Amino acid sequence: MALSFFMFGPAEAAKVVANTASVTSPSIGNSRYQLCLLLPCNFSNTVTNSANTQAENNNAASLFASPGLALGLGSYHGEIQLRFPSTVPANTWSYVRIGGDADLFRALLGGSLGNLLGTVLGSVLLGRQDIQIQALNSTNTAVLTRSSIQGFNTDRVRLVTDKNGLYYLAIKPAQSYDRLRIQNRSGSVLGIGAEYRLDVFHAVYFTNEDDCTVKPTFTSYTGSGITLDALNLNQVVQNINYAIDDDQDGTFSQLSVGVLGVAGSSEQYIHFSTPVQPGNDVLVSLAIDPTLLNVGLLNNIELVAYSNGAEGKKVAAGSLLNLDLLGLLQAGQFVQFPLRVDSAPIDQIGVRISSLVGVGVLSGNLKISSVTVAPSVPEVNIPPETGVYVICEGTPLTITPQNQSGRVLNWYNDYAGDDFIYQNQSYTIPPNLAPGEYEFFVRSAFQSCGVESLPSNFKVKVEPRPKPENYTIQPSGQASIDEDGKYVYIEGINPVILTPTISVSGPGIFYWYFDATMIDPIANGMVRDGVLYELGPAGRLTLIGLEFRDNINPYRYYVEWVPGTGCPPNSPKEVDLSSIARILNISVARFTGVEQGEGAVKLDWQLSGAAEDEGIILQRSGIDLHFEDLARFAAEEGYAQSYIDMMPAPGNNYYRLVVVDRSGKIKFNSSLVLVKTSLSSKKMFKVFPNKFNTSINISFLKDEELQAQVQFYSGDGKLLHSLDFTFSGYSNNFTILNLANYPSGKYLLQIKSSKNHFNFNLIKE
């Protein structure tokens, strides 16, 4: 199947027809009359029906010529002059439709091949009949003259044919003119008494056209290095006019490869009645015998642009193909090749075949199915590093190609243009596309008639985002998941551990939140509403002190997984812990802690539901969240109990109550109570610098001996260094070295003795 662009039929270009005809040879030819005295003749006029040339129709005037008898006796010629209604601007082509000797016309149509073709056809065509055309100005002065004996093969005068196979003399003077003189003369190599006829139908020129009406109007050809033997078997060009007819699929001209000798070439010209302006493409639909592709013929086919007869841009057909289009050519199908008009207007293009040196004469043809004018392909700025747009699932992407002003863009899902999307200067990729790779096509079109360009294509790769259904949250211990997807756990069982996994491959990090909008994150060591939250490896979340309380919102948490590379999620996975099985009667009526002066914390509590044989353990933890027992008590139902911690750590202290049975099995964990102490460490230690880089110095300020453990933590509670040291008057300084490689941020230095804990908040620059 031939690939073609979508178009509405353009209107015919505007023409100006010569509307005045005058005969400049005798209306009654005396010489011809004398000849008729000796030979049978039916006519005595050298020009007949001259009025037929004053309108564009299928009627013609006839011009007669003869060399007469010996020594020129009775010789005559026919001559007619056609005048336009106004002056034709310089460098404007005008065309005279003619009819006559088909063999002569075919030879003249071949330009520089005329002499060769005339010989091959078996007679000296160019010597027996001489057709001459002149352009004249208003003073009847000739500004350009050319005859068929000289050859109609210049950039000013050519013989061309239209889509119907009709012949035209084309002339383009460098000066303005208003009339054309056509003469039919006899050559020097003619039979005695022979008479030759030339029909002249009309003369026209084309006015400036808009983009929708510019199209190829005429065609011709030329060549060099043509082999005579091959010419006897193959025509240089067959059905030349089919390259510009209105049948874009079923008909085609054929340029024979088999006529090319060493360093030879043949070229079919496509002529435009008015120039193709920059910002447009000339599309040439070509097909090649598949066997010729195997010998590299594609690199010997060129598209050539001409402006005012001068050869300009030239591109090889092979440089315009991708693999998909090459596959179509190999299947013998037609493919459109674009020749872009970049700067200067072009009035002619050529499809040129050069011989394959060393291959020899080949059989096969290059076919030209159609030549059309279309807008230039819109330019899409595809990312050069990837060659494809990469977006995250659900993310909008708007593509705005570069396009000529006054033109619209049509968007498609396919190359052929069958699956139309819509018309707009921009296209926004649908945000609901599933992950995968998609290809889109865009064509530029004239607003006035809808003629479209070849498509420009681009690809969009949609990367997946983690979705809630990709997560699996495994509860720990006695927790379970009910039919509604809620996590059911037993109140008082601590801790509750949630371990997330995800079915998306690759590295990534889990983050936990208190809200679905993911603006309230859960941090390691955070205490909220009496619940301590610990973040462990691989996204594990540990909840300590979780219990049912009416004043707390339902226990819902949210987790997201952010991949190391790729797209983050749009929405998190909800973990609903609102289903609590309250199978225990133990509850906390009151549990508080307050600092009493500097160096002590008083804790008060009251439990209900505990049995008399059960015990209560009061525990304390610092920021490392490793609890230690402070004191043990017998459970006293309904009675208030208290305890004073004489050695709290400086800063944050976390307290909780643990109820155990006689065997020591934990039956209940209370929520946490946080007490921040103001115990001053400056009285005993000096730590500097507060903003460190490579090392930290510690000085002991007391004149006594103190055995302590020096521990250095990252901001998220990870222990980095730990060392036992004895401070005294003889060794009162301690230095932590080799800290340069740690990242910038907050750190904690903790000095623990048997009586006190000293905390120092530091910053790594």
pLDDT the model gives residue 543: 83
Residue 411's nearest CA partner among 441, 437, 385 is 441
Torsion 244-249-251-253 (CA) sign: positive
pLDDT the model gives residue 129: 84
pLDDT the model gives residue 391: 92
Q: What is the mean pLDDT of residues 57-66?
A: 92
Note the CATH architecture for domain 685-764: Sandwich (2.60)
Q: What is the mean pLDDT of residues 332-360?
A: 81
Q: Which of 71-80, 489-498, 726-735 has the lowest mean pLDDT?
A: 489-498
Distance CA 289, CA 333 (A): 9
For residue 218, what are the contacts with CB-CB under 8 A and spacing of at least 6?
95, 160, 161, 162, 168, 170, 244, 271, 273
Phi, psi of 243 (to 5 degrees): -70, -20
Give per-residue pLDDT as tens, 616-658: 899 988 766 678 888 888 887 667 888 988 777 777 888 888 8
Beta-strand relationship, 579-581 and 487-490: parallel
Distance CA 375, CA 407 (A): 8
Distance CA 435, CA 625 (A): 43
Q: Is the pLDDT of residue 118 over 80?
A: no
Within its chain, how far is the Cα of 130 from the centroid? 58
Distance CA 374, CA 715 (A): 66
Q: Which two tokens stand for residue 735?
A: 């230095």
Q: Which two tokens stand for residue 503?
A: 């079915």
Distance CA 592, CA 589 (A): 10
Q: Which of 77-81, 303-307, 721-725 has the lowest mean pLDDT?
A: 721-725
Residue 364's nearest CA partner among 461, 438, 298 is 298
Domain with CATH 2.60.40.10 in the chain: 389-463, 468-581
Q: DSSP of 267-303, one letter per residue?
A: EEEEEEEEEEPTTEEEEEEEEE-HHHHTTTGGGGEEE
Which of 29-38, 49-58, 319-328, 634-643 has the largest mean confidence? 49-58
Distance CA 46, CA 27 (A): 6
Q: What is the mean pLDDT of residues 344-368?
A: 76
Note the CATH architecture for domain 216-375: Sandwich (2.60)
Higher pLDDT, 96 or 27: 96
CATH class for the domain made up of 15-206: mainly beta
Q: How far apart are the first and last CA of the chain?
A: 69
Give per-residue pLDDT as tens, 232-285: 545 678 899 999 987 776 899 888 776 666 667 888 999 998 889 888 999 998
Note the CATH architecture for domain 468-581: Sandwich (2.60)
pLDDT the model gives residue 4: 34
Q: Is the pLDDT of residue 10 over 50?
A: no
The counts of H helices and E strands in the chain are 7, 56
pLDDT the model gives residue 581: 46
Q: DSSP of 598-653, one letter per residue?
A: SS-EEEEEEEES--TT-EEEEEEE-TT---EEEEEEE--TT-EEEEEESSPPSEEE
The single-letter code of the amino acid at 509 is I
Domain with CATH 2.60.40.1930 in the chain: 685-764
Q: CB 107: neighbour CB atoms within 10 A?
A: 25
Q: Which of 6-10, 24-28, 139-143, 492-496 has the lowest mean pLDDT?
A: 6-10
pLDDT the model gives residue 49: 92
Q: Is the pLDDT of residue 112 over 70?
A: no
Distance CA 601, CA 668 (A): 23
CATH number for the segment(s) 587-677: 2.60.40.2060
Count of CA atoms in the C-beta half-sphere (13 A) of 765 = 8
Q: What is the mean pLDDT of residues 573-583?
A: 66
Bridge partner list, 459: 439
Higher pLDDT, 596 or 87: 87
pLDDT the model gives residue 295: 52
What whole-number percentage of the chain has pLDDT above 90? 27
Distance CA 452, CA 408 (A): 9
From the number of C-beta atoms within 10 Å of its C-beta (0-12, 13-18, 19+), residue 405 rates as exposed
What whole-number percentage of the chain has pLDDT above 70? 79
User: What's the mean pLDDT when you consider all of the chain?
Assistant: 81
Res. 223 pLDDT band, cuts 50 70 90: confident
Q: What is the mean pLDDT of residues 101-124?
A: 67
In this prediction the pTM is 0.64
pLDDT the model gives residue 289: 78
pLDDT the model gives residue 7: 37
Q: Which of 109-113, 412-416, 747-751 has the lowest mean pLDDT?
A: 109-113
pLDDT the model gives residue 548: 57
What are all long-range contacts of 168-171, with beta carbons under 8 Å and residues at least 24 apart? 168/95, 168/96, 168/97, 168/98, 168/218, 169/95, 169/96, 169/98, 169/131, 169/133, 170/93, 170/94, 170/95, 170/218, 170/271, 171/93, 171/94, 171/96, 171/133, 171/135, 171/144, 171/146
From the number of C-beta atoms within 10 Å of its C-beta (0-12, 13-18, 19+), residue 222 rates as buried
Q: What is the mean pLDDT of residues 445-454?
A: 84
From the number of C-beta atoms within 10 Å of its C-beta (0-12, 13-18, 19+), residue 662 rates as exposed
pLDDT the model gives residue 2: 35
Distance CA 543, CA 498 (A): 8
Higher pLDDT, 439 or 489: 439
pLDDT the model gives residue 149: 84
Q: Is the pLDDT of residue 9 over 50?
A: no
Residue 568's nearest CA partner among 416, 723, 705, 464 is 464
Higher pLDDT, 608 or 112: 608
pLDDT the model gives residue 337: 87
pLDDT the model gives residue 8: 36
Q: Give domain 389-463's CATH number out of 2.60.40.10, 3.40.50.12160, 1.10.1780.10, 3.20.20.70.
A: 2.60.40.10
pLDDT the model gives residue 458: 94
Q: CB 228: neighbour CB atoms within 10 A?
A: 11
Bridge partner list, 461: 390, 437
Domain with CATH 2.60.120.260 in the chain: 15-206, 216-375
For residue 672, what are the contacts with CB-CB under 8 A and spacing of at least 6?
527, 530, 531, 532, 544, 545, 654, 655, 656
Distance CA 479, CA 309 (A): 89
pLDDT the model gives residue 242: 92
pLDDT the model gives residue 125: 57
